Structure 1
Amino acid sequence: MAEGSKEINLEIVTKDSEKIIKPEGLLLIDNEAKWVCLSEGYYNTSIYVCDENTGEILGRADANQDWSRAEITFLKHNQTAKVGVFNFFSEIILRNRIIFYQGIVIHAAAISWEGLGIIFTAPSETGKSTQAELWTKYKGARILNDDRPALRLDNDKTYVHGTPWSGKKELFLNESAPLTAIILLEQASQNSISRMPVTKVVPYIMPRCFLPYYNQAIMEKCLNNLGQMLAKTPVYLLKCRPDFQAVELVHECLTHNAFQDTSIEIPPLTRVR
């Protein structure tokens, strides 16, 4: 529910069942979790996970078209898996629902420093968490989320939000900050930083975002959200070591550019095929 509003933005209903029925429909994704486009009924998308040894369905989540309502079914005789199943499905539901509120979830480490939001993003094991922790050590920053923060447009500004899903370290805050910079990381023997033109940013950013590949219409909405965010946020490539100098390079860029108008016009993003 939005703050100060009685409108319910997302409703999740949970229930137990002796046996979870396999959903009928078109199989969209066949990975650890299987995604199905339902052939009939109120819900449009169903996701389920199975026991890798027995093949028994441990949990199933069904969501309507705009992900405003979802139902999660747990296997009654396997309550030990209930928390893990709920966390897994609730994250997926939030990631998709926020798209309809001009948002997107990104694989990154997000910090709040002096009221400004900064995110560090790169492939896994590149040093996102390390850079965030260096900022807490040297600049007194606070970690909003160590792994999967949410970005959302609000009154033409982008804000970065902490979410409850943050990887192994479980570092997150129920807070937000206006997004001031996106830092793309690359490990290097020497520290350097450069502002990236938006035309070169997209191939770096899109693989880091949780995109709705299962549905073209929702994908277009998601990419529109991302395009508006990138048009208003400076993006830097930081080639770095895990040290104080890397922090200082970013700090210098922020102190020179944080309050400048960085809005530019970019063409709509298109789906990578």
Structure 2
Amino acid sequence: MVINKKGRLYNIAGMKIKICSSEFAMFRNLDLFVCEDHSEIMLEMVVKANSKISEPVGFLLINKDVKWVAISEGIYSHSLYFCDEETKTILCRADVNYEWGLAEITYLKNCPQAEGMVAGFLLEIIFRNRIIFNQGVVIHASAVSYKGLGIIFTAPTQTGKSTQAKLWAKHLGAQVLNDDRPVLRLENRRTRVYGTPWSGEKRLFLNKAVELNAIILLEQAKENRLKGLTLSTSCAQILPRCFLPYYDLEIMDKCLKTLGEMLLGVPVYLLECKPDREAVDLVFRAILNRQKYL
């Protein structure tokens, strides 16, 4: 891959990313994460426009909104592309190597829809997979930071993750790190939670990280109750909330080992709750009580 375009550096979840492109307007959502440190770049991408994008040749792994093809020749191992629903024209395509550290994205010239997919869709997929090789995982959750404490709320969609995060912000003045897709990363055998620029429709995120002190699984209920979960129950409940590499057993094993080590050091609770202050206080007291004995 020949890099002959202007480069810009970003630091997302402690991972340095270099993007080479002649056009950076499409990456405005990454502005909070711009950095100047050129050391230890973990993901390098070339982004270019073209008047026509060819269909990759290989084994079709996924045939949904995004097509995912395994490639057997050349420096790339995977190709992902997105087509216009009506014309079937390929709007954008990403080719990546096995460890997701090298990528080339091509998008359709003079097509705003394609430009929007580059940073808001393809780059996120590449990031999710690359972070696995750096002891990280993206999880579907709302993450908050309160006086150095990190808490994530996770559950199926429409259960109340964002509501609980808002309650912490309202009653305790907590900061929302990311309202939809934060990163958990293992660093020196401790887990940190990071904000990322991908946070759903509300675009609520910060470029900040704190140590993770609790994972809260949510269930709606008429009364507020909180209970600690065993490791086996925690794993069974949390895995469906993570963005996992089902396409490759070796990468999946790497991801599961990281998650397993995280869960050995971070308590997991089930919060059956109403959307009120009492639910906030239950979690807060549990975290404070645990901190006293650490």
Aligned to 2:131: 98
Deviates more, 1:10-19 or 1:161-170: 10-19
Root mean square deviation, CA, Å: 1.3
Q: C-alpha distance in 2, partners of 1:50/1:81?
A: 9
Give the counterpart letter for 1:202 in structure 2: C
Report if aligned partners of 1:72, 1:86 keep a CA contact under 8 Å in 2: no
Query: 1:21-170 alignment to 2 at 5 Å?
Result: 21-170=54-203
Point out where structure 1 has 5 or more consecutive residues left out of the alignment.
Answer: 262-273
> Can you give the 5+ residue segments of structure 2 that lack an aligned partner in the other structure?
1-15, 18-34
**Residues 90-113 of structure 1: per-residue CA shift (max 9 Å, x gap):** 100110010011000000000001
Name the SS of the counterpart of 1:10 in structure 2: strand
The alpha-carbon distance between structure 1 residues 80 and 5, as it changes in their structure 2 partners (threshold 3 A), is closer
**1:107–1:147 CA contact under 8 A, matched in 2:** yes
- Write out the 4+ residue segments of structure 1 that deviate beyond 4 Å after TM superposition: 2-5
Distance 2:268 2:38 in 1: 34
How much has 1:133 moved relative to structure 2?
Answer: 0.3
For residue 204 of structure 1, the aligned residue among 237, 244, 261 is 237
> Retained in 2: the 8 A contact 1:150–1:162?
yes
> 1:6 is aligned with what amino acid?
S
8 Å Cα contact 2:224-2:272 kept in structure 1 = yes
Write the letter of the residue equivalent to 1:17: N
- Name which of 248, 264, 287 aligns with 1:254: 287
User: Which amino acid is the alignment partner of residue 104 of structure 1?
Assistant: V
Residue pair 1:116, 1:177 contacting (<8 A) in 2 also: yes
C-alpha distance in 2 between matches for 1:243 and 1:75: 48
Classify 1:259/1:48 alpha carbon distance in 2 versus 1 (closer, same or farther; 3 Å). farther
* Amino acid of the structure 2 residue aligned with 1:251: F
The answer to whether the 8 A contact 1:104-1:151 is kept is yes
Q: Aligned-pair distance for 1:16?
A: 1.1
Per-residue CA deviations over 1:55-76 (Å, capped at 9, x if unaligned) read 1110000111111111110011
Deviation at 1:5, TM superposition (A): 6.2
Q: Distance in 2 between matches of 1:202 and 1:216?
A: 18
Cα distance in 2 between the residues matched to 1:183 and 1:36: 36
Of 183, 203, 209, the residue aligned with 1:176 is: 209
Pair 1:187 & 2:220 matched: yes
Name the counterpart of 1:225: 258
Q: Distance in 1 between matches of 2:110 and 2:187?
A: 44
- Identify which of 219, 236, 251 aligns with 2:269: 236
CA deviations over 1:36-94 (Å, ceiling 9, x no partner): 10121110011000001111110000111111111110011424430233320010011
Rounded to whole Å, the distance in 2 between the matches of 1:176 and 1:259 is 22
Q: Distance in 2 between matches of 1:19 and 1:260?
A: 61
C-alpha displacement of 1:30: 1.3
Letter of the structure 2 residue corresponding to residue 213 of structure 1 = Y
Aligned length: 261
The alignment-based identity, stated in percent, is 55
State whether residues 111 and 141 of structure 1, in contact with CA within 8 Å, keep that contact through their aligned partners in structure 2. Answer: yes
TM (normalized to structure 2)?
0.86
Specify the code of the residue in structure 2 equivalent to 1:7: E
Deviates more, 1:4-13 or 1:165-174: 4-13
Is the CA contact (8 Å cut-off) linking 1:110 and 1:120 kept in structure 2? yes
TM-score (norm 1): 0.93
The 3-state SS of whatever aligns with 1:258 is helix
1:18 maps to 2:59: no
